[in-house]
Amino acid sequence: MPYPIAKLPYGLRCRLHDLATPVERYNLQIAAGNPSICPPLQIIKPVNSRFYLENGKLTMKNHAWALPDLVEFGHDELVYNGRYFDFSNASLQDLAAIPFTDYFVPTFTKIALSDCNLSSSFFKQFAESKVFANVRRVSIEGNVNANYSLNFTDLATAFPRIAYLFLFDINVSPTWMSDIPKANHEHLNHLTCKVKKYIL
């Protein structure tokens, strides 16, 4: 049975703020249309931010010409959103170390993976966070995991709304063309592909 949170005493609503993650606080305040539901006001970073995860270090830029700022979770309790997320030399451990669901809202539309350690588990990490559910454009260049060939089912699970896919210098299976319809890529309407080799 739902409980009207707005009718809670002010002190309990403040305690709710302490117990909730930054994204949960933000979502409660948006749903209520008023920050008093879970005071004080949850701060969110600008929508034009671009995020970079390189060698385990997460930074962000508000403008292309700006110097990158280090993102530290739990320090300022900000909620982050943006359109672009670039991953370079990232591994499954790097992804698992970032609390995406607690600090990011699902506003990302473009993602780039450069020389990452790709695997089914790597893509599953994106799917589990739900932060990247609205990604429409994916660019993948290189893969440091020689034992993994790009699986289009993994890709569809991680980014269910993908419309534009750019693949450069990665391994794919010989059946990659027939795998695309099987992976249920209903939104995919553009594919650019320059592959290293087919893996038999």
pLDDT digits (tens, 9 = 90+) for 19-31: 888 888 888 888 7
| pLDDT at residue 62 tops 60 | yes
What was the pLDDT predicted at 172?
85
Q: 1: pLDDT confidence band, cut at 50, 70 and 90? A: very low
| pLDDT at residue 57 tops 60 | yes
What was the pLDDT predicted at 7?
75
**pTM, rounded to two decimals:** 0.85
Q: 200: pLDDT confidence band, cut at 50, 70 and 90? A: very low
The number of residues in the chain equals 200
> Regarding predicted confidence, which is higher, 198 or 98?
98
- Phi first, then psi: give them for residue 28, nearest 5 degrees: -65, -45
* Bridge partners, 86 (sequence order): 52, 112
Percent of the chain with pLDDT over 90: 36
pLDDT digits (tens, 9 = 90+) for 92-143: 999 999 999 999 988 899 999 999 999 999 999 999 988 999 999 999 999 9
Average pLDDT for the chain? 85
Helix (H) or strand (E) holding 28: helix 22-32
Rounded to an integer, the average pLDDT of 152-178 is 89
What order do you get walking across the sheet with 190-194 strand by strand?
69-70, 57-61, 50-54, 84-88, 110-116, 137-143, 164-168, 190-194
Cα–Cα dist 179/177, whole Å: 5
Which two tokens mark 91? Answer: 């591994």
Rounded to an integer, the average pLDDT of 34-48 is 76
Q: Where are the beta strands (DSSP E) in 146-194?
A: 164-168, 190-194
| pLDDT at residue 174 tops 90 | no
172 three-state secondary structure: strand
Rounded to an integer, the average pLDDT of 51-64 is 85
Name the range with the highest mean pLDDT among 40-54, 151-165, 178-192.
151-165
What was the pLDDT predicted at 3?
61
What was the pLDDT predicted at 23?
87
